[in-house]
Copies of this chain bind each other. A is one copy, B any other.
């Protein structure tokens, strides 16, 4: 009977809450309803996590970057600085005060030995009872490289090749113990079954790692592997290794093309379409009426500092100095960056398609940094999500609240009930682990 109910249940969408400081909009911190000091307060993040858990989100999600960007301090001081707590530390503390919600941390493969990464996630998975996900990124800026004994970043293709090896090492370390290795037999004096400890002995292009970790196998086998890179290299890595992809797509057509293309790339890896969930980012601006929502958005747009807007474009277009181009002229031709390639392409495509000047482009992306913006009532937002979800453009969405905490409150109080009414989203958690929330299988141990 139970099985029949499950089988006939409507396909459910997945929701992530992307929590970035006091909100995603470039001017969020200047909004009168926002306390910008919250960006460094643990009780603020704790409260956001509880709100998302009340809304039955699959997971909360923290981005990351490794340092302070280049540029004159006077420019940075205007707010380009992403001043947040280190994600794994913050999520470990949040794990202690939440019960069910998934916890996804961004950690770059570029400058952290894989042994440390594998161990931290194994510990976090342990203490959260299987609720962790790792958003794998490679660091794409020179200013991050300079905090780690380098002058410049590693080239794009090489970074992704290293990341592939990195994931192999990390999985091999997570598999260092059989699920049933630990015995704790006090009488026999046998802590574990000696046949069930697996030394990795990895020797690759970049890493030599013996293993295993000092820990048991993670509760989920592996924490859920998430990726955001949408370039060619990024998609190839995702097809091989990711279970969730956070992507940025502007139109339904683009979304469908990306979705179909990436799912197809799973086939040569012997993976089912269901084994990778595609969750585009959406920045919802929610009002009780369409006009109220539009007014909210205009209020935020009016707070954008033009100097910051251009600074944002500089960063996302590949550290090009745009100051020599007229602000009301077109976006110039750009060389392919070794930085964030997919984001550069997305911005240029957007400008060409909508015939935007540099000024119009930064106004257009200041809210969501290239993610889709949906402005309107809860019904309108739900319509927009449903449209992508039922038309093959998304398995779910990563929600980017424009301001925090209010943007998240609005979504949980207004949009989530509407999605639930439509039978598109859970009303209670059924599973315990993040894998169970997302409908992902627990991976087998490669050594067995």
A residues near B, CB below 8 A?
29-32, 34, 36-37, 40, 42, 46, 65-68, 72-74, 76-79, 81-86, 88-90, 92-97, 111-113, 115-116, 119-120, 122-124, 126-127, 143, 146-150, 182, 184, 186, 189-195, 197, 207-216, 305
Q: Which of B37, B115, B195, B208 touches A67 (beta carbons < 8 Å)?
A: B115
Within the assembled complex, what's the spacing in Å between the Cα atoms of A143 and B213?
12
Q: A97-B96, A209-B149 are in contact. Are A85 and B40 (CB under 8 A)?
A: no
Q: Closest CB of chain B to A230's CB: distance in Å?
A: 24
Within the assembled complex, what's the spacing in Å between the Cα atoms of A14 and B186?
35
Question: Could you jot down 16 A-B contacts, CB within 8 Å?
Answer: A29-B184, A30-B189, A65-B214, A66-B115, A67-B213, A73-B194, A79-B191, A88-B89, A89-B120, A90-B92, A92-B93, A93-B93, A97-B97, A147-B209, A147-B210, A149-B209
B residues near A81, Cβ cutoff 8 Å: 191-192, 214
Residue of B nearest to A199 (CB): B68
Q: What 8 additional pairs, Cβ within 8 angstroms, besides A40-B216, A86-B122, A115-B147?
A: A29-B186, A29-B191, A32-B186, A66-B214, A78-B189, A78-B190, A84-B214, A93-B93
Integer count of this chain's copies in the complex: 2
Within the assembled complex, what's the spacing in Å between the Cα atoms of A66 and B37?
37
B residues near A197, Cβ cutoff 8 Å: 68, 73, 76-77
Q: A89-B123, A147-B211, A215-B85 are in contact. Are A36 and B186 (CB under 8 A)?
A: yes
Within the assembled complex, what's the spacing in Å between the Cα atoms of A76 and B214?
12
Q: Closest CB of chain B to A367's CB: distance in Å?
A: 17
Residue of B nearest to A39 (CB): B184
Q: Which of B111, B115, B149 touches A148 (beta carbons < 8 Å)?
A: B115
Within the assembled complex, what's the spacing in Å between the Cα atoms of A31 and B186?
8
Residue of B nearest to A145 (CB): B210
Within the assembled complex, what's the spacing in Å between the Cα atoms of A36 and B143?
46
Q: Which of B32, B65, B92 touches A92 (beta carbons < 8 Å)?
A: B92
Within the assembled complex, what's the spacing in Å between the Cα atoms of A146 and B210?
6
B residues near A215, Cβ cutoff 8 Å: 40, 83, 85-86
B residues near A124, Cβ cutoff 8 Å: 89
Q: Which of B30, B127, B192 touches A85 (beta carbons < 8 Å)?
A: B127
Q: Closest CB of chain B to A163's CB: distance in Å?
A: 16
In contact, A190 and B119 (Cβ under 8 angstroms): no
Within the assembled complex, what's the spacing in Å between the Cα atoms of A193 and B216?
47
Q: A113-B111, A116-B111 are in contact. Are A123 and B74 (CB under 8 A)?
A: no
